[in-house]
A and B are shown apart, each in its own frame.
Chain A
Amino acid sequence: MNDITLTEDQRDCLQELINVAMGQASDKLARYLQTFVHLQVPYIELIDSTVLPERFAETYAEEGVSLVSQGFYGEKGILGESLLIYKSHDAHGIAEILGYEPDDVSEVEQLTDISSILTTTFLNGLAEQIDNQLAYSAPRVVSSMETPLEQHLQQLSFNWDLALKVDISYQVVDFSFNCDMVLLIPGEAIKNIQKVLDQILDEF
């Protein structure tokens, strides 16, 4: 499996598709949340499953973070998982915009709510670009402030060697809310994405 590489054309194409999807998502989110949502330029790489826990640990070492996972699957063998990572207490401000009553204190539910909104809005946009339809599993909190992320990742067994990883940062300035989205498209699904990218490149 480790012989997979992205050509420069494929990477550029994917980058372009993501940029368009991000633009659409940003626009839709702004309307729904009634505030400006800033999405930072994505970072795309192929990553080995063995280095993933380490990479996460490096990036989120100092803070307690919460991790919400949501699976997605579509046609033509496109599937993967979206991980939303929140540094401690970034998410407080969102309770109000999601319609929670002040005594509705389930922070976990607020995180799953906002995660699902961010993930599905962006991925639906991306799916539209590649003429696909995605379905989603319910979002789940994988680790929270109480169970450190690093500890959790060490316990994960990955049944893939290589994954296509896309990092996107979200900022909702008005609510001082930040989070990182990491899309992981593992194993065979990378080849399926590549086929789709090649098809788009051919049509140009």
Chain B
Amino acid sequence: MDVAAVQSQLIERINSGVLVVDQNCCLLYFNRFMESHSLLQASEVIGKNLFDIFPDAPQRWLQRKIQSVFMLNTPAFSSWEQRQFVFKMRHARPVTTSSEYMAQNITFIPICSDGQSEPDKVGIIVEDMTDVFFYQQKLKDTLKELEEVSRTDGLTKVSNRRYWEERFRIEFETAQRHEHDLSLIMFDLDKFKRINDEYGHQAGDLVLVKATELVQQILRKGDLLGRYGGEEFGIILPNTADKGAYELAERIRSQFSLLTMQHDNRSINATMSMGICQFDSRFTRFEDMVTRADLALYQSKREGRNQVTIYQA
């Protein structure tokens, strides 16, 4: 086998870019991969300066890098994770990936002439990492979605209890540390079992969805609605005292009581009972606020439902 002939064909046709430059960064070799991705012909770039051929390349940094290979006689590297590309080129998957330019891993290799111990050329190998780059992006997006799903209630799309409590703990600790106002509204749909029995469970689901939609519209940025369980919900109101919480709760209560929902050509009306507790520096845990808001909520129920009660110590 003529090893040299095989090697030169391999390097010419390998699915990575191969360039060779001399000490002045003049191009001595430019393989087929480089030709087809840069849309340049070897015949027109050989003998020209690398930075004239790739004017977008980070010149100072790249020159210093190539210099290190010559001076230290060591390889050097560049990774797409830190620098997406050095040589601005199209990649081979323009249809099925979203990125415009080829993500590249690059290796710079010192090359010595026969019998010499110091390099007089640098070989540059450009690997197309677009696939990895693309899947990494996808993975990031998926992880974000997963995080979103793991904190959301499937039916109503509001925060689930686990995430809501996690956030409540943080808000509670902030209120403790900085003596900020903080209020909690707990609310519950009145006679929800009867809605389910009379109109069916799908109607019950609809009422939950409509109720949370309405609440979300009324809430301010920074407030957080969560499904506490069944038909019970909680609203965290940072920087809000019980008076402000009461006004907000009243608005929700009255608007919801006026809302007529449609299911299977039947009109459904529902109401909610609400309880409010504001932060007190004597509380030690956020659960102390939940218990007290619940007590106020039960009082609203006892006194005839469809009303708002503030917890009084």
Contact = CB atoms under 8 A, between A and B. Distances in A.
8 contacts: A28-B72, A99-B60, A99-B62, A104-B58, A109-B82, A117-B68, A117-B72, A140-B79
B61 A100 contact: yes
Interface string A123-166: 01000000000011011100000000000000000000000000
Contact of A113 (B60, B65, B73, B105): B65
Nearest to B62: A99
B71 interface: yes
Contacts, number: 60
A139 B105 CA distance: 11
A132 to B, nearest CB: 14
A121 interface: yes
Nearest to A111: B82
A117 B73 CA distance: 10
B63 interface: yes
B67 interface: yes
Among the interface residues A100, A116, A135, which one has the most CB atoms of the partner chain B within 10 A?
Answer: A116
Contact of B61 (A101, A108, A112, A139): A101
Nearest to A109: B82
A136 B62 CA distance: 20
B74 interface: yes
Interface string B73-95: 11111010011000000000000
Nearest to B74: A120
Given A108-B82, A109-B82, A138-B79, A32 B71 contact: yes
B107 A120 contact: no
A64 B67 CA distance: 32
Given A109-B83, A112-B79, A138-B107, A101 B71 contact: no
B82 A32 contact: no
B64 interface: yes
A31 interface: yes
Nearest to A110: B82
A112 to B, nearest CB: 7
Contacts of B105: 138
Contacts of A120: 72, 74-76
A98 interface: yes
A59 interface: no
A116 B77 contact: yes
A112 B72 contact: no
A137 B62 CA distance: 19
A136 B72 contact: no
